[in-house]
Structure formats: structure tokens, C-alpha cells
Structure 1
Amino acid sequence: MCWKSVVAACGLLLAGLSVASAQDGYLEWTDANGLVGPFAEPEADLDTDGITNLMAYAFDLAPVNDPDAWEKLPSLAFIGDPPEPVMTFVLPREIPRDVCYVVDLVTEDGKRIEIARKNGRGPWKGTGEVFRRKLEDGCTEISVEAPLDIPIPEGECPLRLRVEFLP
């Protein structure tokens, strides 16, 4: 059997499984979703949609074929005159304790400056403006704006979101 067939078969089996509670931790989430071996690695992407297991876990998504994924993951818009970048994403009702969300500003020379950080269920910290809006389903929409005193580089993606495991 070829590798693509194995991945496709696993994807079909996993598509119907529910997402484990974020309070359980990453290992429990992988177990609840039937992910084993290399398929359980944080950087694995079974359905090749660009959403790794770690991102799916951090945003309370199913690891394979989640129809709500692109509504919850980060999006970037330019608002105002002059246009300023704003990153928006949706955090789950239960934020995992073992991940941290980091928003970086990418400078013109390609360096990343951290402007907002949320460690697990702790508060947001950093120089960026963080706005929260509670949604009807109990999730929270987050919008992050770059600090006004930092020049925004020309380009399509000046703000980026990273998800990391907490030490």
C-alpha cells in the first residue's frame, strides 16, 4: 500500500472523532483523536491543509478535515488610514494550559519582534494592543494591533502568529 493511501485511510478514520478537551493536554488530545506514532507529532499535518496538529490543538480543531478551521485561524486585515495591520483569530472556550500564543511583528529586515504573548490561560502581555470579544459559542475573538511607535514594514504579512509548547 502506498504512503498516500495510508494517510488517506487514517484521515477517513480520524475525520469523525471528536476533539478532546483542551484542559487534558496535548498527549490526551492526540489519543482522543486516534493519532499515534508520527501522526501524533505536533508538526504533523495528516490532511495536508497547512494546519499542524499543534495548531489544531491550540485552536480546538479536529486534526483532519475540520470545516470550521479557517474561521478560527489567524487572518490579517489592514484597517484605517493609513492602513494598519490587525491580526484576528478565535481562541477556544477552554484555552490549553500547555501552549502559548505569540504574535510577532516582522520588520523590514526580516527580524521578528514579539508584540503580544499569552501563556496558557494567563493574561496577554506585550506592547501590542490586544482586543477581546466574547462570541456566542463561548469562544473569544482576539484582535492584535502593532504598537504605534514601531514602524510597520511594507509587505503582505507584517504580523504573524506562532503557537508554542510551554516549557
Structure 2
Amino acid sequence: MRFKSFVAACGLLFAGLQVASAQDGYLDWAEANGLAGPFAEPDADLDTDGITNLMAYAFDIAPVNDPDAWEKVPSLAFIGDPPEPVMTFVLPREIPRDVSYVVELVKKDGKRVEIARKNGRGPWKGTAEVFRRKLEDGCTEISVEAPLDMPIPEGESPLRLRVEFLP
């Protein structure tokens, strides 16, 4: 059985990928992209690019060898004087209903505090400033800034984006 899964997964490298709609859900997306067995697990990363299947699904990225993948994943920038961290990412035209997008502030002690959350197609909630900009292709660019009353720890990545399945 594992050999069949491996052969199916390797076939992805050469075959054109079929994209399932976000309305269909993660399992349908995985099947439409030829992922089976352990390669269909949300935490799997078949092409070892650092983007798990769940992140690929949440950001409309092909799970194997997507040339535009790194343009679609979240980025962190420091803007202003003094520089404040801003997390920016693009949500697909059709936001999956079965995932949550969670932005966290990483404190000095390493603990994380949730500052923004979007459950499926619902509204953003939390204490962060969330800015939206509709793009020409129908996608939405999101920028998240930490609340002004929260101290920002020094370091390379004070903001973190986590994607999780909705309960």
C-alpha cells in the first residue's frame, strides 16, 4: 500500500495538478492534487520546501513544486520609526471554510499571544489592527499590526501566522 502511495505522489512531479475548490474541503483538495496515504496528511511536505499541505491548501498553493509558492506565503516586515512588525499575506479568492488563520505575537519569554483570528469565511477578530485590500485577481491582501498597547519584543519574528483546522 505504501508503494502505491509513493508512486502516486511521485507522479505529481510530472503531471499537471488539478485544483479542487476550497468549498470542497481539505480532503477533496488533497485527493484532487493526487495526495494519498501519508502524503495527504496536513503536516506532510512532499517537496520539502517548508510549506505543509495545510498551508498550501489555506493559501491556494500547489502542494508540489509551485513556482509561485513563496510569493503567496506570509511575510514579515518592519515599518515606521520606530519600526513596528507587520505580517502581510494574501488570502485566496475562495477562502477555505475548514481552516482558521491565527496571527500570534511572540513574547520575550517565548509564549505566544493570539492577536488576530479568522475562522473560515468569518470576520477577523482580536486586538490587532487588520487591514484588507482587494486585489485585481479577486484575492485579498491582509496586513496585521500588533496592538499599540502591547510591547513588541526584540527579535527577528515577533509575529507568527498559524493555520489550523476548524473544530
Instruction: Quickly name the TM-score band, shorter chain normalised.
Output: over 0.9
> Is the contact made by 2:39 and 2:46 (CA closer than 8 Å) also made in structure 1?
yes
Q: Which runs of 4+ in 1 moved over 3 A?
A: 5-8
SS in 2 for 1:147: coil
User: Which residue does the alignment assign to 2:69?
Assistant: 69
Identity %: 86
> Is the contact made by 2:8 and 2:36 (CA closer than 8 Å) also made in structure 1?
no
> Is the contact made by 1:11 and 1:46 (CA closer than 8 Å) also made in structure 2?
no
Report the Cα offset of residue 7 of structure 1: 9.0
Q: Distance in 2 between matches of 1:51 and 1:6?
A: 21
| Residue identity in the other structure for 2:94 | E
Worse overlay, 65-74 or 31-40: 65-74
> Is the contact made by 2:104 and 2:160 (CA closer than 8 Å) also made in structure 1?
yes
Report the Cα offset of residue 18 of structure 1: 2.4
> Is the contact made by 2:107 and 2:113 (CA closer than 8 Å) also made in structure 1?
yes
Q: Distance in 2 between matches of 1:58 and 1:22?
A: 8
Report the Cα offset of residue 6 of structure 1: 5.8
> Is the contact made by 1:60 and 1:92 (CA closer than 8 Å) also made in structure 2?
yes
Q: Distance in 1 between matches of 2:88 and 2:8?
A: 31
User: Which residue does the alignment assign to 1:129?
Assistant: 129
Q: CA RMSD in A?
A: 1.6
User: Which residue does the alignment assign to 1:12?
Assistant: 13
Q: How does 1:109-148 map to 2 (within 5 A)?
A: 109-148=109-148
> Is the contact made by 2:33 and 2:63 (CA closer than 8 Å) also made in structure 1?
yes
| Residue identity in the other structure for 2:163 | V
> Is the contact made by 2:23 and 2:96 (CA closer than 8 Å) also made in structure 1?
yes
Count of aligned pairs between the two proteins: 163
Q: Distance in 1 between matches of 2:87 and 2:101?
A: 12
Q: Which runs of 5+ in 1 are unaligned?
A: none
| Residue identity in the other structure for 1:158 | P
SS in 1 for 2:137: coil
Q: Distance in 2 between matches of 1:64 and 1:130?
A: 30
SS in 1 for 2:163: strand
1:41 equivalenced with 2:41 (yes/no):
yes
Report the Cα offset of residue 138 of structure 1: 0.4
| Residue identity in the other structure for 1:153 | P
> Is the contact made by 1:79 and 1:86 (CA closer than 8 Å) also made in structure 2?
yes
